[in-house]
Structure 1
Amino acid sequence: MIDLKLLRQDPDIVRASQVTRGDDPGLVDQVLDADARRRAALTDFENRRAEQKSLGKLVAAAQGEEKQELLARAKSLAEQVKALQADADAAETEATELARRIGNIVAEGVPAGGEDDFVVLRHEGTPREFDFRVRDHLELGEGLAAIDTERGAKVSGARFYYLTGVGARLELALLNAAVDKALAAGFTPVITPTLVKPEIMAGTGFLGAHADEIYRLEADDLYLVGTSEVALAGYHSGEIIDLSAGPKRYAGWSACYRREAGSYGKDTRGIIRVHQFHKVEAFSYTTVEDAAAEHQRILGWEEEMLALAELPYRVIDTAAGDLGSSAARKFDCEAWLPSQERYLELTSTSNCTTFQARRLGVRERTADGEVRPVATLNGTLATTRWIVAILENHQQADGSVRVPEGLRPYLGGLELLEPTGGASR
């Protein structure tokens, strides 16, 4: 949630952020109006309460007719106090609900516009030129007996799949490499819950415009996470944490679930856009002052993983209209996809500043004793989708796939994934 103090002091910053996102700037005035009504009702409440207390002393000392008049006055005041408290509570609820609809304040320098208005910061590596017919990842995966979407659909429906044999081993290799990278960078590995309470899901900002992409178990009032970011953001909810020794860093390994609502017809072939996958997510709690630097550090670790997988990629600065509500800035790394001759997002890292921490009550105590919200950041270190880029970029003419050197230790030294003549049957 945005800082209400900032909203009162400089509402134009929040309005400008809303405009940059393509959202309604009028929400700012609605929040300010509700907040003003709340404060006015509280002032009246406090005045009436003070009058009520003073009257109580007079009632105790009065007698006869005077006492009856004072008691009548006290009863009237009690009703007024109750009504003013209700007004203040209603205005506070309205202000909070409206404020939760306002996205995080977009960081300075973020490109304006929508999904297609990103800025390419740089390219790393050169897309390979092939002198043979390029196979896509599904054809390669079926030839290696690594991916089985037919049985996935038979058992679970569209956008589900099995990873078998070297496919399963390749995913585990990627995820274990990501954990090792995280350990070297000072992260604590965490196997996170994949079901969370509504207040945790809402606290991370995922129950806004994209709530229809989240699976909900109505009977239990729990949500399936689309990223371990959710569980990690809730890990220290309601706590005051110690950041005196630097950021608290966690690497969450979990299954992830997404309904992919609104994506019908997009990337339906293979395992690019699926309902279930695995991911290792970097998550940091740090100070507001360190957040931008930590964002660059997470991006650096993501790029080290892409280098380990020997993938050509580009880094983009995501436009404001394509940011999630909790992100103030987001960088994506997109790998080259030979079969479609386009770039495919493999990683993203977001600086959520204090947005999630305010909602979840995660604070720190500064050296001078001030208690204030922390900043939270997240970033992908590896996920199932990487298999798509690895198979396609490292394919050979005979349908085999060269294993990047950095992943070979995680595959028992295997250098080449060789076709089996088709998927296992």
Structure 2
Amino acid sequence: MLDLKFIRDNLDLVKRSIKARGLVLDIDKLIYLDDKRKKIITKIGELNAKRNENSSRMRENPDEVLKISLIETGKILKKQLIDLEEELERVSVDFDLENKRVPNILSPDVPIGSSEEDNFEIKKVGVVPKFDFKPKDHLELGRDLDLLDFDRAREISGSKFYYLKNEAVFLEIALINFSLNKLREKGFDVFITPDVAREFIVDGIGFNPRGNESNIYKIEDTDKYLVGTSEITLGGYYYNKIIDLTLPIRMAGFSHCFRKEAGAYGQLSKGLYRVHQFSKVEMFCFCKAEESGVIHDEFLSIQEQIFTELEIPYRVLNICSFDLGSPAYKKYDIEAWMPGRDGKGSYGEVTSTSNCTDYQSRRLKIRYKDQDGQSKFAHMVNGTAIATTRVIISILENFQDQKGGVRIPKSLVKYTGFDYIPFKN
């Protein structure tokens, strides 16, 4: 969330951010509720002072007639206090709900747009493969190479689940090891995180859906959710802590990710591209305010290194205002070339990295001391290292050959133990 004083001092800036994101939010209502809340708190303080004064007079005055009058006054004051405290609770609930809905402000270089078509392409890297045969999509390859089984998964678990089989299992594990080793070499602390988080942590990270439907699964009769990303559990790691940020804290977390993906159907969402469960390695950093922009660019650079070493053609996008989640000040996406996508080949999202400034740390009460000993909220940056399912799509589709097999990128061979997946009759 944003600092309320900042909101008051920068109302026009905050309103422009809300409008640019395509959100409907009455910021003036938030200010009204805050003013009302403060007035009630002042009244409660005044009534408590009167109650204390009334109690003192009762103790000090032996006159029984006057004491009866003071007792009645005390009852009236108590009733007024109860009413005000109940009103304060109602107003505070409304205030908190409105306050949590306010998104982060936008970086000045975020493109203003109303759809993903307005995302700005920064660059393209790599050569899109040209085949002298009709390339297959990953579903055909998964069937012909005995790597994927959606039919049995549909019977066992429902739609948008899958079995990985044979070489695909080792390919997923190789991608995880490849990315974790790279991040460890770059000074990241490496974690396997819980796949479950409490509601206040999920809320603190700021997973606010645009509509009424959450994209993550709630565990029935608990205050817990299955995580949609280890950003949630890494981001919550220092909840309510004052941390040492002499150096930025870089973390890499492996987790399974669970998403409802409601309404996600059609050609562009088929197969492994949009599923209810997948594995992911996430990058996360806690840093000082003046460092988050540099760390954000560093995360993008690491993502580019990963896809360059995987030999996968990609493009980098600066994400427009409409496509940003509430916590993000700025976000980059990498989209990889997928020859089987949409029947003719196109780019599909494989990573994102977001600078969320202090938006999440205010909710989660994560602070650090600056050089003057002043307490400040940490800045938080996140980014995908590897989301295995979409990278598997890219590898299968880009490195298929005329024999019907698939070459493994050289950077992965030491992790897979094989350099080729042959066609199976």
TM-score scaled by length of structure 2: 0.94
Corresponding residue for residue 84 of structure 1:
84
The answer to which of 235-244 and 56-65 deviates more is 56-65
Cα displacement string for residues 147-177 of structure 1 (whole angstroms, at most 9, x for unaligned residues): 2222222222221111111101111111111
Q: 1:174 to 1:82 in 2, by over 3 A?
A: same
Match of 1:157 in 2: 158
**1:269-299 CA distances to partner (integer Å, 9 max, x unpaired)?**
3211111110001111112221111111111
CA distance in 2, matches of 1:50, 1:270: 67
Q: Secondary structure at the match of 1:189?
A: strand
Equivalences for residues 30-49 of structure 1 within 5 A? 30-49=29-48
SS of the aligned residue for 2:289 comes to: coil
Structure 1 counterpart of 2:411, from 400, 406, 409: 406
Q: Which residue of 1 aligns with 2:99?
A: 99
2:365 maps to 361
Partner of 2:391: 386
The one-letter code of the counterpart of 2:168 is: G
> Which residue of structure 2 aligns with residue 215 of structure 1?
217
Amino acid at match of 1:361: K
Q: Which secondary structure state, in structure 2, belongs to the residue aligned with residue 212 of structure 1?
A: coil
3-state SS of the aligned residue for 1:235?
A: coil
Name 1:262's counterpart in structure 2. Answer: 263
Map 1:277-296 to 2 at 5 A. 277-296=278-297
Q: Which residue of 1 aligns with 2:227?
A: 225
Whether the aligned pair in 1 keeps the contact of 2:335 and 2:349 (CA below 8 Å) is yes
**Residues 179-218 of structure 1 mapped to structure 2, 5 A cutoff:** 179-209=180-210, 211-218=213-220
- AA matched with 1:267: L
Instruction: Say which is worse superposed, 202-211 or 35-44, in terms of deviation.
Output: 202-211
Residue of structure 2 in register with 1:69 after alignment:
69
CA gap of 1:240–1:266, structure 2 versus 1, over 3 A, is farther
Alignment-derived partner of residue 304 in structure 2:
303
- 8 A Cα contact 2:25 2:101, kept in partner: no
Cα offset, 1:180, TM superposition: 0.7
Deviation of residue 368 (structure 1)? 2.0
- Counting matched residue pairs gives 418
Residue 270 of structure 2 aligns to a residue in which SS? coil
Give the match's secondary structure for 1:420. Answer: coil
Match of 1:53 in 2: 52
* 1:20 corresponding residue in structure 2: 20
Matched, 1:242 2:241: no
1:128-143 alignment, distance < 5 Å: 128-143=129-144
Distance verdict in 2 for CA 1:40–1:356, change over 3 Å: same
Partner residue of 1:375?
A: 379
| Contact 2:192 2:253 survives alignment (8 Å) | yes
* 1:207 CA drift (Å): 4.3
Answer whether contact 1:101 1:208 (CA < 8 A) is retained.
no
Distance 2:194 2:14 in 1: 34
Distance in 2 between the 1:123 and 1:268 partners? Answer: 23
Unaligned runs of 5+ in 1: none
Supply the AA of the counterpart residue of 1:204. Answer: I
The answer (yes or no) to whether the contact 1:159–1:268 under 8 Å persists in 2 is no
Pair 88,268 (structure 1): closer, same or farther in 2 beyond 3 Å: closer
SS in 2 for 1:216: coil
Which secondary structure state, in structure 1, belongs to the residue aligned with residue 18 of structure 2? helix
Contact 1:318 1:330 in 2 (8 A): yes
* 1:3 counterpart residue number: 3
**SS across alignment from 2:101:** coil
What is the CA distance between 1:364 and its match in structure 2? 1.6
Paired amino acid for 2:233: A
Aligned-residue offset at 1:191: 0.8
Number of the residue aligned with 2:419: 415
Shift of 1:375: 1.5
Deviation string 1:58-116 (CA, Å, 9 cap, x unpaired) is: 33222323333333333333333333333333322211111111222222221112222
Deviating more after overlay: 376-385 vs 214-223: 214-223
Provide the residue aligned with 1:395 in structure 2.
Answer: 400
Q: Counterpart amino acid of 1:356? A: Q
SS of 2:54's equivalent in the other structure is: helix
For residues 86 and 152 of structure 2, the distance between their equivalents in structure 1, rounded to whole angstroms, comes to 57
2-side partners of 1:307 and 1:232: how far apart? 26
Residues 39 and 88 of structure 1 are in contact (CA less than 8 Å); yes or no, is this contact kept in structure 2? Answer: no
What is the rounded CA distance, in whole Å, between the counterparts of 1:119 and 1:345 in structure 2?
14
1:343-364: CA deviation from partner (whole Å, max 9, x where unpaired): 1101001111112111222222
- Aligned-residue sequence identity (percent) comes to 38
- The one-letter code of the counterpart of 1:216 is K
CA drift of 1:390 comes to 1.0
Query: 1:352 maps to what in 2?
Result: 356
The answer to whether the 8 A contact 1:16-1:25 is kept is: no
What secondary structure sits across from 2:23 in the alignment? Answer: coil
Structure 2 distance, partners of 1:97, 1:142, is 48
- Alpha carbons of structure 1 residues 61 and 269: separation in structure 2 relative to 1, 3 Å: closer
Cα separation, 1, equivalents of 2:176 and 2:282: 10
RMSD of equivalent CA atoms: 1.7
Contact 2:208 2:326 (C-alpha < 8 Å) held by counterparts:
no
The alpha-carbon deviation at position 372 of structure 1 amounts to: 2.4
Give the conservation status (yes or no) of the 8 Å contact 1:328–1:350. yes
Shift of 1:39: 0.7
C-alpha distance in structure 1 between counterparts of 2:25 and 2:221, whole Å: 37
Is the 8 Å Cα contact of residues 260 and 275 (structure 1) preserved in structure 2? yes
Cα distance in 1 for residues equivalent to 2:152 and 2:285: 38
